[in-house]
Chains A and B, each alone.
Chain A
């Protein structure tokens, strides 16, 4: 029986081939037949999860509650020393230097990455801004958000911090960071579904040992990671509760 693995659609395009390499590594190590299915957007991926087509997922924290509480997924690991953080940025020419100086009615460029958008909106909230008094424009990439700010089509952009840091220096020189989140406990996680749950401990052991050999290290590097760290059940529950408090 073949299992289906999927990755949160907000993965960096630079790491697309890395996920295929990782899937091959995982199949060899675990002896399980695993097919990697990449979805274009979160809606398509959630439909697949709802119809029980997914057995293994590198999940966005926004979807963790649904995966654990509705679909019986268990946490495996997260990438070491990485957390999901957001940046609110404007054009370097914008006179505003503080969130509290932004006005209602502004155009906000964002993506459909659910956790980054949510963290960004929470930071805008301190400036009395919410979905009811801004114009939200969704883009397919953070490069397009940067372009939108530089061209003056948007006033404010919500970025995944890692993606912002990875923009070219030329682009970053034309932008200005108003605020960078420092939350530290919101992260993507590799999770295993009910059909593979009996192998949770074995999968964890394989993944945690991955950085101990050169081949495993190379696969991790292709994903932009140094190592995996175990995610305990209670840590996942804590993050789900945290996300729950942030969703209102």
Chain B
């Protein structure tokens, strides 16, 4: 289960929300209006086990999330869950990868400091010897047009 965010880590004026994470209890989060732009030319990469527990992150993941590698490994991937993201998007993600298929979508992620960043995420199941052993998620820079469409669409999905 994820612990609540610490207000001492938040930079700037913030709002508060309680997220209900599917199967993982609830988490109090603090979030601001400060966006961190996606860095050009980079990919954010992580892997999780079947339960969504992070097993690997790359340097871009660490830099963009604001957490240290030690804080991330062994933690649920939903540590990045932003209150502006509708639960239905993640249900679609899990339903899709559980069928053994790839999922792709635009996601607003929450940083440790309460800020956010948009990504275009692709998640695929890692199949070894015919068995799903975990998931790889790769995020790339999204087009601003697509992000703006999501900013309009996502509030209608709650």
Task: Choose among A183, A241, A242, A248 the residue that contacts B42 (Cβ–Cβ < 8 A).
Answer: A183
* Contact A244 B128, CB 8 Å, known A182-B41, A238-B136: no
Given A122-B140, A123-B40, A241-B136, A248-B126 contact (CB < 8 Å): no
A30 beta carbon closer than 8 Å to chain B? no
Check B122 for interface membership: any CB of A closer than 8 A.
Answer: yes
Q: Which of B11-19, B20-28, B142-150 contacts A (4 or more CB under 8 A)?
A: B142-150
Q: Does B48 contact A (CB under 8 A)?
A: no
B79 within 8 A of A: no
Contact size range, B: 20 to 34
Q: Is B43 an interface residue (CB 8 A)?
A: yes
Report the interface size class on chain A.
20 to 34
Q: From residue A28, how far is it (CB to closest CB) to chain B in Å?
A: 37
Tell me if B144 and A241 are in contact (CB < 8 A): no
* In the assembled complex, B98 has its CB within 8 A of some CB on chain A: no
- Of residues A125, A182, A245, which shows the largest number of chain B Cβ atoms within 10 Å of its Cβ? A245
Q: Which of A123, A125, A185 contacts B45 (CB 8 A)?
A: A185
Q: Does B57 reach chain A (CB closer than 8 Å)?
A: no
Q: How far is the CB of A46 from chain B (nearest CB, A)?
A: 23
Residue of A nearest to B123 (CB): A245
Q: B1-59: which have CB < 8 Å to A?
A: 38, 40-43, 45, 47, 58
Query: A179 and B122: CB pair below 8 A?
Result: no
The 0/1 profile, CB within 8 Å of B marked 1, for residues 210-248 of chain A is 000000000000000000000000000110011011101
Closest B residue to A186 by beta carbon equals B43
Q: Is the CB of B124 within 8 A of A179?
A: no
Question: B-facing mask of A183-195, CB < 8 A → 1, else 0?
Answer: 1110000000000
CB of A171 within 8 Å of the partner chain = no
Find B144's partner among A100, A237, A238, A242 (CB 8 Å cutoff).
Answer: A100
Query: Which residue of the partner chain A has the closest CB to B56?
Result: A238
- What distance in Å separates the Cβ of A117 from its nearest Cβ neighbour in chain B? 15
Instruction: For A127, list chain B residues within 8 Å (CB).
Output: 143
Given A126-B141, A126-B142, A128-B145, are A246 and B136 neighbors across the interface (CB < 8 Å)?
Answer: no
Least distance between B142 CB and chain A CB atoms (Å): 7
Closest Cβ neighbor of B144 among chain A residues: A100
A180 interfacial by beta-carbon distance below 8 Å: yes
Contact, CB under 8 Å: A125 / B41: no
- B138 lies within 8 A of chain A by Cβ: yes
B residues less than 8 Å from A21 (CB atoms): none
Contact B102 A244 (CB under 8 A): yes
Does chain B have a CB within 8 A of A181? yes
On chain B, the residues within 8 Å of A38 by CB distance are: none
Check: A99 CB closer than 8 A to any chain B CB.
yes
Q: In the complex, what residues of A have CB within 8 A of residue B126's CB?
A: 237, 241
> Which residues of B sit under 8 angstroms from A183, Cβ to Cβ?
41-43
Residue B96, interface by CB 8 Å: no
For B141, list chain A residues within 8 Å (CB): 123, 125-126
B75 touches A (CB below 8 Å): no
Pair A181/B102 contact, Cβ less than 8 Å: no
Q: How many whole Å from A112's CB to the nearest CB in chain B?
A: 22
Q: A237's closest neighbor in chain B, by CB?
A: B128
Measured CB to CB, the nearest residue on chain A to B146 is A128
For B140, give the chain A residue with the smallest CB separation. A122
Q: Evaluate contact between B47 and A248: CB separation under 8 angstroms.
A: no
**A246 contacts across to B, CB distance below 8 A:** 43, 122, 138, 140
In the complex the two chains form, is B122's CB within 8 Å of A125's CB? no
Q: Is the CB of A242 within 8 A of B41?
A: no
Residue on B nearest A128 in the bound complex, by CB: B143
Cβ–Cβ < 8 Å partners of A125 in chain B: 120, 140-141, 143
What are 12 A-B contacts with C-beta separation under 8 Å? A100-B143, A125-B140, A126-B38, A126-B141, A128-B145, A181-B42, A184-B58, A237-B126, A245-B102, A246-B138, A248-B102, A248-B104
